[in-house]
Structure 1
Amino acid sequence: MTVGTERAFVDELVTRTSPELPERFFDRFVFNLHRTDAVTPSVLFGFGSYPPRDVVDGFAILVTETEQRNVRFSTELTATDGDGAGPFRFEVVEPMRTWHLTLGPNPTGMEFDVTWRARTPAWVGDIGVTNDGGTPSTFEHLVQSGLYDGTLTIDGVTEEVHDWYGQRDRSRGVRNMSGGQGLHIWHQAQFPDRSVGFLYVEDREHQPILLEGAVMHTDGELDGIVGVRHELRFNDSLDLQSGRVEVTTAGGVTYQINADASAGGGYMSGGWYGGQHGRPMGRDYEEHDVYPLDGTVSPKTVDSALTDRLTKFTWGDVVGYGIFEFAHSRSSRYRYRPSL
């Protein structure tokens, strides 16, 4: 096995501008929250700081068996303490180890007061992707698995949260995912003693252009991922239904992981992933909507194909749950091709 160590990462968000920050600079985080044995409810939320633009914004998404409820909010950075916006607040209690996160009353009918604590070391990498006709994406990227304790309230019914799974994603730099990609995967399969997490992107000619991640063990081991192959099944609306991935690590371990992604929802358009992040909207802006999960909303109908699907994974006899994030290009130049 390859035993790695966490690379240094400044966990607190950058909330002040300076001359060396490019105009497109961002500092963001995304968390998800879900049970360890079910695909509903699925909770997704995130927040970003854009100091050169004097903007902070965020979102919260609740996916139930029948619908996806979304709330999005934005304000001026200088009008905040840098610890949230709208109904959302966060505190970095202990960098890389513990965060406190709250969501107050909002139109989704969901509220929470939870503490996330790390259960694995973090994988930290540097992302560099060339975009068709746009600014290259260059940013630091962190992924880490954790557990939650606290309370989750949905439509006035409060439930105790104890040791629920939650993966977090931190990214900081310049990002412009404007074109040229065919398939995007952010795979976060949570098993009792490890998290199999990677980011994989291929171009429209089916050539890999990005792979980074690791198998993150609860005993502190990091085994870098060096190879990914896939066989995925999409429907006519480019929505993932099921599939399998083969993951090869630097330590010489191969994982065959099956995925049941039929639960639905997780459309990240509900969190402004159609290019709206960091756009100035003035002070105290908020909007919300609901996506029915009856087939009328899909990666083809919303303004971004990016989808974070709460998924049941099986690795041999071991069952796990986690987020399978995917985006199948809507370009006529691309048709999915399995590599397994």
Structure 2
Amino acid sequence: MTDGFHDALVTRATADMPERFFDRFMFNLHPDGAAAPSVILGAGVYPPRNVVDGFVVLTTETEQRNLRFSTEHDATDAASVGPLKWETLEDNTTWRIQLGENKTGLELDLVWRARAPYWLGSVDVENTDGNVTSFDHLFQPGRYEGTLTLDGSATDVGGWYGLRDRSRGVRTMSGGQGLHIWYQAQFPDRTFGFLLVEDRRGGRILLEGAVMHDDGRLDDITDVRHDLAFAAGNDLTGGTIEVVTAGGATYRIGADASAGGGYMAGGGYGGHHGKVRGRDFQEFDVYPLDGSVGPTTLDSALTDRCCTFEWNGQTGYGIFEFALSRSSSYTYRSSIAT
């Protein structure tokens, strides 16, 4: 589906809106040929709770700097929270993102432009606790223009890759998951993007996504197989993904995930989004990238690792989001036949 998504965030509560309704966006930003600095930022509105919150996760070569912020939604202009401002310049095509002075030392003045059509699906999962997850999920690759300023040093980011993710609805994922992958590998003429969730026995709970071609074609992904390597503490180091599409193509893509960082607990992904925290709440922390912090030490295993990808003699760049269950009942298993 490529038409009709209302891109601007839903900011007003209605009588029939579920109490847990959310509308969120996330952008990532990373240079070609390098894994640092990697930037992940986002914001979400929760109209029934009168909450808007956001985050910035900055990964350098030696550390990850995290900023989380929240306020009452009716105290904002409906397009900002904390130091973060956003504007939809053209639906599903162009956004402006600005990040003002803050404790991370990172400031941004960016325009993101789509390089391919978006992929839109609906995530509908009945959880083990009886609650139902149901939300629209969109992702779309693009490139940036503008300026990144880090610790006072400005860099022109013209041409840098980045992908946006939009989700809207009710999300209460809980229990029974074994492996989670949200995969975004950008190559010169196409992007591989999918969400895969497996249970603790390796059975598939969810698969959605597509190969998004710069010429406008979308080729839905129908199967994904994986052979991944993890270090101590369930931290991804690399591996291979096989993607099969509705158009009959099979792609085998390698990933180097050795750069480190991207731990999304730093962005509040340990169940903190949408919490009522009053006006002008902020918190800041730093994770050293020395092995002392990782998926098994934080309140969320979710990790968005900036990676280098290899396919068909070409090099690509992007984000490999992963999480392994920390339950003793789960052990990772490759699904690629050897």
TM-score, scaled to structure 2: 0.98
Q: Deviations over 1:93-119 (max 9, x none)?
A: 001000000000000000000000000
Matched, 1:310 2:317: no
C-alpha RMSD of the superposition: 0.7
* Aligned-partner residue type, residue 263 of structure 1: A
Q: Give 1:288 deviation, angstroms.
A: 0.4
- 1:276 is aligned to 272
Give the one of 6, 13, 38 matched to 1:10: 6
Residues 224 and 249, structure 1, Cα contact 8 Å, conserved in 2: yes
Partner of 1:55 in structure 2?
Answer: 51
Q: Which amino acid aligns with 1:237?
A: G
Residue 242 of structure 1 aligns to which amino acid in structure 2? Answer: G
**71, 78, 82: which one pairs with 1:82?**
78
> In the alignment, is the contact (CA less than 8 A) between 1:134 and 1:178 conserved in 2?
no
The verdict on how the C-alpha distance between 1:134 and 1:267 changes in structure 2, with shifts beyond 3 A counting, is: farther
Partner of 1:118: 114
* Cα deviation, residue 236, structure 1: 2.0
Of 188, 213, 227, 2:209 maps to: 213
Which of 311, 321, 334 is the matching residue for 1:338? 334
3-state DSSP of counterpart to 1:52: helix
Residue 184 of structure 2: aligned partner:
188
Deviations 1:43-78 (A, max 9, x none): 000000000000000001110000000000000011
Counterpart of 2:283?
A: 287
1:223 corresponds in structure 2 to 219
| CA 281–7 in structure 1, closer or farther in 2 if over 3 Å, else same | same
Instruction: List runs of 5+ in structure 2 lacking aligned partners.
Output: none
Asked if 1:329 corresponds to 2:333, the answer is no
Q: Which amino acid aligns with 1:196?
A: F
One-letter code aligned to 1:103: L
Q: How much has 1:134 moved relative to structure 2? A: 4.6
Question: For the residues of structure 1 that align with 2:161 and 2:134, how far apart are their CA atoms?
Answer: 29
Q: CA deviation at 1:180?
A: 1.1
Distance 1:136 1:321 in 2: 34
Distance 1:301 1:201, change over 3 A: same
- On the 8 A contact 1:244/1:256 being kept in 2, the answer is yes
**Helix, strand or coil at the partner of 2:266:** helix
Q: Distance in 1 between matches of 2:300 and 2:126?
A: 19
Structure-2 residue corresponding to 1:261: 257
What's the offset of the Cα at 1:7?
3.3
SS at match of 1:162: coil
The amino acid across from 1:10 in the alignment is H
Q: What are the within-5 Å matches in structure 2 for residues 225-244 of structure 1?
A: 225-244=221-240
SS of the residue corresponding to residue 163 of structure 1 reads: coil
Distance 2:114 2:130 in 1: 36
- Structure 1 range deviating more: 190-199 or 133-142: 133-142
1:243-301 CA distance string (max 9 Å, x none): 00000000000000000001000000000000000000000000000000000000000
Cα distance between partner residues in 1 of 2:142 and 2:178: 30
Q: Distance in 2 between matches of 1:252 and 1:42?
A: 34
Distance 1:252 1:204 in 2: 29
Q: What one-letter code is carried by the residue in structure 2 that aligns with 1:65? A: E
What amino acid is aligned across from residue 141 of structure 1 in structure 2?
H
One-letter amino acid matched to 2:270? G
Deviation track 1:213-249 (CA, whole Å, cap 9, x = no partner) reads 0000011000000000000011120110110000000
State the identity as a percent: 62
When normalised by structure 1's length, the TM-score is: 0.98
For residue 26 of structure 1, what is the aligned residue in structure 2? 22
Q: CA deviation at 1:316?
A: 2.1
User: Which of the numbers 25, 33, 40 marks the counterpart of 1:37?
Assistant: 33
TM-aligned CA deviation for residue 310 of structure 1: 0.2
